[in-house]
Amino acid sequence: MKKKQSHREEKNQTKRMKNNYWLYLPKWLTRIYMLIMLGLFPVYFDNFGFTAILQAKYNFFFNLTVGYLILLLMICILLVLKRVWVVPPFRKIPGKIWRSTDIPQKAIFCLMIVASISAALAPDKSMVWNGFVRFEGLQTKLLYWLTFLAISVFGSFHWTLLCALWCSSTFMGVISILQYTGKNPFTLFPAGTCYLVSDLTRMFIGTVGNIDSTAGMSCIMLPIFFCSFVLYRNRSRFFLLIPLLLNIFVLLFTGVQQGVVGLGAGLILMLPFVSNTVQRMRNTMVALGLIFLTAAFQQMLAPAVMLGSEYANGAVVHFSFSFGKTSLLFILLALICAVSCFLLRYFGQKLTLQASTISRIIGTCLAVGLIAGLLFLYFSPAGKNPQHGLIYEGTQVLHGNMEESFGSNRFFVWKRVPALFRQYPVLGSGPDSFGPRFSAAYQQDMLIRFKKMLLFDHAENEYLSLLVNLGLIGLILYLTLLSSQILRFLKMNKTTERIIFLSPLICASVQLFFTSSTIIVSPVFWIVWGLLNRSLRTPVVD
């Protein structure tokens, strides 16, 4: 009798082990998908180079994601058929799914419904499915959101994901710098040209494509490397500085201000959670010091291009060095970071404050600094001189003087968004419908101001684009999704994994005030966001 009972228990244990093996299949498939997307998607291109980079990225994302979702669905059905998953009666499934989801997942479900209804009711249905020129139609949005849901359920952070991101980011940085020096690797630019040849070629860099998209990718990748370097304690973390500094250099020489603002502001907002111990403050000083030295080096370089038909794979670029006030300022900041690191190394042990107290102190200092900066902008004499660029524009905006030329003509677009919104305020005019509507409505305004027709395929602001495309309901749902993640993070234990994945969300959200979603960047953005939601759903002790 005892032998039969032990045999039965052994058989049940073997069955449970097999079931556990099946349970890992969705997780393994999801990890493989994330590895491919993080490691290959940012550096993927085809034989047409930059001339068809958008189409190439779209094809890669669409084929891989559809294949992943179909395989995931088949595995889930198989788990149900093998009774590894216990499924309630069919009529109870929707209610059970709804009760088991959190607020971000509920917001995603509602966004999918709202976007589908908006597309069905769109005044011009010819483009809402595939999208206008950015491939941001309904099918792409649904793939983003389904990927988020799948990763938030089956995804998990693994060191191989960081390695994949390291490889793709380093490759991006190396290719970008080679292009900056006059080379044309993989013939991404048309033969006989390079990055520095003309204003048109300077709009593209690296393997991502457009310099704005490259800046957007940097706002996702670089915060992960920065926070990982600060938070981890093993020596291998110094390898993370390679892609960080390479792409900081690229971001600076391309001069994409929205990327600099998004990355800088996002990392500053994360400092209370990243630098709240002596060891973390030292690591922060090391990273910032090297970033300032990289910025100083970039400011010293003065490239000069020598063109000729004999340079089939690019052009000869000569560099000269010149010291200016900006480079000296960055060197001074790097020295301050070095001195701070030295003081923390030898006197930091006397600092006995708790991490939460240090976070509050840093947060208070940032708030005071923000108020001081706004007061400086408001009363600064430099704000009265248009030659001071951003300082002048910031001062004028604070005084209520918003010219249409501000923000590289972004205010020209922003001022006309309310009129488009009022035509379809509730559900919008359909996904990716902003471009055709804006061009049709303000053709005359563009001819008067720019003397030619320009293509504004988005509102130069993701939140305004959502307001026009998906209406007030769509924007509220997106903001609910974003705010719920941040509030949950603030209430929960600030683990290393959660900080690492929140940082790109904050940086990208700031940068999206000055640009909009694109197929070149958004897939990585939603993968990282899904990993953040997964980490917030999983109880972890750091």
Per-residue model confidence as pLDDT tens digits over 383-398 = 777 776 777 777 877 7
Rounded CA-CA distance 528/224 in Å is 10
Q: What is the model's pLDDT at position 541? A: 46
Choose between 409 and 242: higher pLDDT: 242
- Identify the helix (H) or strand (E) that includes residue 105: helix 103-120
Rounded CA-CA distance 88/99 in Å is 13
Q: Which of 2-16, 298-312, 447-461 has the lowest mean pLDDT?
A: 2-16
Tens-digit pLDDT profile for residues 61-111: 999 999 999 999 999 888 888 777 777 776 777 777 778 888 999 999 999
Sign of CA dihedral 216, 218, 221, 225: negative
Rounded CA-CA distance 407/443 in Å is 20
Residue carrying the six token digits 């209610």: 95
Whether 312 has a pLDDT exceeding 80, the answer reads no
Query: Degrees (nearest 5) of the Cα angle 325, 342, 279?
Result: 110
Instruction: Kindly state the tokens that stand for 496.
Output: 């290393």
Rounded CA-CA distance 41/221 in Å is 13
Whether 199 has a pLDDT exceeding 80, the answer reads no
Rounded CA-CA distance 206/17 in Å is 47
* Residue 137: strand pairing partners: none
Average pLDDT for residues 513-534, to the nearest whole number? 94
Highest mean pLDDT among 355-359, 385-389, 422-426: 422-426
- How many other CB atoms are there within 10 angstroms of residue 471's CB atom? 21
Prediction pTM value: 0.91
For the chain, give every domain's residue range: 14-537
Whether 119 has a pLDDT exceeding 60, the answer reads yes
Average pLDDT for residues 226-242, to the nearest whole number? 93
Q: What is the model's pLDDT at position 340? A: 92
Q: What is the DSSP letter of 189?
A: S
Percent of the chain with pLDDT over 70: 92
Q: What is the model's pLDDT at position 17? A: 47
Q: What is the model's pLDDT at position 243? A: 97
pLDDT band at 503 (very low <50, low <70, confident <90, very high): very high
Choose between 191 and 477: higher pLDDT: 477
Q: What is the model's pLDDT at position 169? A: 97
Average pLDDT for residues 274-290, to the nearest whole number? 92
Using CB atoms within 10 Å of the CB of residue 130, give its burial: 0 to 12 exposed, 13 to 18 middle, 19+ buried: middle
Percent of the chain with pLDDT over 90: 51
* Residue 183: strand pairing partners: 314
Q: What is the model's pLDDT at position 2? A: 46
pLDDT band at 127 (very low <50, low <70, confident <90, very high): confident
Q: Which residues contact 217 (CB under 8 A, 6 or more apart)?
A: 42, 172, 208, 520, 521, 524
Q: What is the model's pLDDT at position 9? A: 52
Average pLDDT for residues 40-46, to the nearest whole number? 94
Rounded CA-CA distance 136/526 in Å is 14
Q: What is the model's pLDDT at position 221? A: 96
pLDDT band at 201 (very low <50, low <70, confident <90, very high): confident
Whether 10 has a pLDDT exceeding 70, the answer reads no
Whether 467 has a pLDDT exceeding 80, the answer reads yes
Q: What is the model's pLDDT at position 24? A: 85
Residue 78: what residue type? L
Q: Which residues contact 392 (CB under 8 A, 6 or more apart)?
A: 382, 383, 384, 385, 386
Rounded CA-CA distance 285/268 in Å is 13
Q: What is the model's pLDDT at position 6? A: 53
Is 165:36 a contact under the CB 8 Å cutoff? no
Q: What is the model's pLDDT at position 293? A: 96
Q: Which residues contact 3 (CB under 8 A, 6 or more apart)?
A: none
pLDDT band at 464 (very low <50, low <70, confident <90, very high): very high
Residue carrying the six token digits 């708790």: 354
Rounded CA-CA distance 508/244 in Å is 16
DSSP assignments along 483-537, one per residue: HHHHHHHHHS---HHHHHHHHHHHHHHHHTTSS---TTTHHHHHHHHHHHHHHHH
Residue carrying the six token digits 């704000």: 383
Rounded CA-CA distance 529/85 in Å is 27
Q: What is the model's pLDDT at position 310? A: 46
As a whole number, the mean pLDDT across the chain is 86
